Amino acid sequence: MESPFKEDALKGKVALLTGGGSGIGFEIALQLGNHGASVAIMGRRKNVLDSAVASLHYHGIPCIGLEGDVRKKEDAVRVVESTAKHFGRLDILVNAAAGNFLVAAEDLSPNGFRTVMEIDSVGTFTMCHEALKYLKKGGLGKEPSCGGTIINISATLHYTASWYQIHVSAAKAAVDSITRSLALEWGTDYDITVNGIAPGPIKDTAGLSKLKPEEISSTFEKMPLYKLGDKWDIAMAAIYLASDSGKHVNGMTLLVDGGQWLSSPRHMPNEVVKQQARAVERQSRNSAVGIPNSKM
Ligand code: COA
């Protein structure tokens, strides 16, 4: 698919992506690179990182892979420092690393709950915290008046409640809160924009493949647009937020789910509504002025 953004929309910028070796994180890395950014990707699995780096190089994107776990502060420090040292600056941080598995709340151990909180929520904060000195206005390689951008990948699970996802829902609710708090504090103090993207179900991702096939099909049926999203849809949202196009957006988590989270079963066919609504309204008005229902 062709990007609606200019090829050089991110020229000269340097991006660091956690979870950048696969799935949505990799697609964002690829598209940031296709729009002129140099890219560092962080992940736990060397083989995944190696093949992602090879693929980005194949597309002509300046890129390095850095092994690390966002749960470990020392890894966060090392990866941020290495990125800034290698490219001479850091402009964009994308927190895409996430943990997910389906489990009923009664079967989830506190350590299982904590594990996802530590990856998604604490990991996001840790990376932001360590990247601040480079992202802020006047940071290495930056103008004194111009700060960088943070994009936190969230979800829609916690907007209502989601079966078998108590850990991820809680973790992403915290991520959205982190997004707003940092947008307030760091937008004010350091000219950094902090936003999120909340994808719905996206094709060819670990998040989707970890769901059971029956759940995929029922989710699919409930979606107003009747289709799963593409990783590209999420990446384009990231380009918007990271480029000048989105420079006045701050503290926002952009929903990219085709309206799926709004979906609820249709409790009455449209035809029934058409036939009955006016009659019901007449009945209600007539009752209000004391006209017997039989006159309807
Ligand atoms: N059901 C219930 N509990 C589970 C579980 C499952 N499917 N998978 C892991 N856990 C629990 C473990 O039992 C353990 O708790 P315990 O010590 O009380 O037994 C805890 O979670 C940590 O598991 P562990 O396997 O040691 O963690 P890990 O660090 O190796 O892996 C995960 C982290 C579990 C989040 C793993 O799924 C992961 O690495 N995911 C990354 C990729 C991913 O999920 N991407 C999708 C993004 S949407």
User: What pLDDT digit, counting tens, does each position of 98-119 carry?
Assistant: 999 999 999 999 999 999 999 9
Q: What pLDDT is recorded for position 265?
A: 73
* Residue 293 covered by a domain: no
Which of the residue ranges 146-150, 221-225, 280-284, 291-295 has the most confident prediction, judged by mean pLDDT? 146-150
* Residue 228 covered by a domain: yes
User: What pLDDT digit, counting tens, does each position of 32-76 carry?
Assistant: 999 999 999 999 999 999 999 999 999 999 999 999 999 999 999
* Residue 290 covered by a domain: no
* Residue 74 covered by a domain: yes
Establish whether residue 284 lines the binding site of ligand 1, counting it when its CB lies within 6 angstroms of any ligand atom: no
Establish whether residue 153 lines the binding site of ligand 1, counting it when its CB lies within 6 angstroms of any ligand atom: no
For residue 44, give Cα distances in angstroms to 69, 71, 72. Answer: 6, 11, 11
Q: What pLDDT is recorded for position 13?
A: 97
pLDDT > 90: what percent of the chain?
75
Query: Which structural domain range is residue 39 located in?
Result: 14-265
Establish whether residue 106 lines the binding site of ligand 1, counting it when its CB lies within 6 angstroms of any ligand atom: no
Establish whether residue 54 lines the binding site of ligand 1, counting it when its CB lies within 6 angstroms of any ligand atom: no
Sheet holding 14-18, edge to edge: 63-67, 38-43, 14-18, 92-95, 149-153, 193-199, 253-256
Q: What mean pLDDT do residues 18-39 have?
A: 98
Work out which ligand 1 atom sits closest to the CA atom of 155.
48
Q: What mean pLDDT do residues 74-80 have?
A: 98
Work out which ligand 1 atom sits closest to the CA atom of 207.
48
CATH number of the domain that 43 lies in?
3.40.50.720
* Residue 204 covered by a domain: yes
Structural domain count, the chain: 1
Q: What pLDDT is recorded for position 217?
A: 64
Q: What pLDDT is recorded for position 281?
A: 84
Establish whether residue 207 lines the binding site of ligand 1, counting it when its CB lies within 6 angstroms of any ligand atom: yes
Point out the least confidently predicted range of 158-167, 222-231, 275-284.
222-231
User: What pLDDT digit, counting tens, does each position of 176-187 carry?
Assistant: 999 999 999 999
pLDDT over 70 at 294, yes or no: no
Nearest to 6 by CA among 197, 195, 230, 245: 245
Averaged confidence pLDDT in the chain: 92
Q: Whose CA is nearest to atom 42 of ligand 1?
A: 99
Q: What pLDDT is recorded for position 295?
A: 47
Q: What pLDDT is recorded for position 24?
A: 97
* Residue 181 covered by a domain: yes
CA atoms within 13 A on the CB side of 109: 3
Q: Check residues 273 and 237 and name the one with the higher pLDDT.
A: 237
Q: What pLDDT is recorded for position 283?
A: 87
Cα of 115 to ligand 1 centre, how many Å? 7
Kindly give the pairing relationship between strand 38-43 and strand 193-199: unpaired
In this prediction, residue 220 has a pLDDT band, given cuts at 50, 70 and 90, of low
Q: Whose CA is nearest to atom 40 of ligand 1?
A: 99
* Residue 244 covered by a domain: yes
Q: Whose CA is nearest to atom 34 of ligand 1?
A: 99
* Residue 285 covered by a domain: no
